[in-house]
Amino acid sequence: MRDDRFESTFAPYIVVAAAKLKYASSWTTIATAHVDGPHSTTLCVRLGRLGGGGRHGLEDRPISRFFGGFVRPWERMPLRLDKLVADRFGLSRRVARDAVLCGRVDVAGAACDEPGLEVDPDVELAYVPHRPKARKVETSLVVLYEDRHLLIVDKPAGILTLPTAAREPGTLLERISKYVHVRSGRRPYVGIAHRLDKDTSGALAVALSPRALREMQAIFRTHAIDREYLAVVSGSVVRAEGTIDLPIVDDRGDLRRGVARGEDEGRHAVTHYRVLDRFGDVASLLSCRLETGRTHQIRIHLAAIGHPVIGDKVYRPKHDRPGKARFHRQALHARTLGFEHPFGGGDVYVEANPPADFQDLIDGLSRRRSEYDRLARDRRGR
Q: Of the spans 14-28, 56-70, 315-329, which averages the highest pLDDT? A: 315-329
**Cβ distance 361 to 327 under 8 Å?**
yes
Task: Say what the pLDDT of residue 42 is.
Answer: 43
Report the SS3 class of residue 5.
helix
Integer Cα distance of 240 and 67 in angstroms = 77
Check pLDDT > 80 for residue 16: no
Q: Check pLDDT > 70 for residue 21.
A: no
Domains, the chain: 4-76 (no CATH), 79-127 (3.10.290.10), 143-377 (3.30.2350.10)
Q: Looking at the predicted structure, is the pLDDT value of residue 38 above 90?
A: no
Q: What is the mean pLDDT of residues 332-339?
A: 97
Provide the pLDDT for residue 261. 85
pLDDT at 102 over 90: no
DSSP for residue 115: T
Which range, of 69-78, 97-106, 194-203, 371-380, averages the lowest pLDDT? 69-78
Q: What is the pLDDT of residue 59?
A: 47
How confident is the model at residue 302, as a pLDDT?
Answer: 97
Beta-carbon neighbour count of residue 100 at 10 Å? 26
pLDDT in tens, 253-299: 888 899 998 778 889 999 999 999 999 989 999 999 999 989 999 99
Query: Rounded to whole angstroms, how far apart are CA atoms 307 and 353?
Result: 23
User: CA 369, 373, 376: angle at the middle one, nearest 5?
Assistant: 140
The region of weakest confidence among 111-115, 243-247, 305-309 is 111-115
Q: pTM to 2 decimals?
A: 0.63
Per-residue pLDDT reduced to its tens digit, 133-169: 764 433 468 999 999 899 999 999 999 999 887 788 8
Which residues have a Cβ under 8 Å from the Cβ of 248 and sit 6 or more positions away?
A: 257, 258, 259, 260, 266, 267, 269, 294, 295, 296, 297, 300
pLDDT tens digits for 337-355?
999 999 987 899 999 999 9
153 in helix, strand or coil?
strand
Mean pLDDT of 85-109: 89
Question: CA 153, CA 180: separation in Å to the nearest integer?
Answer: 12
Q: Is 318 exposed, middle or buried (0-12, 13-18, 19+ CB in 10 A)?
A: exposed
Active site residues: 197
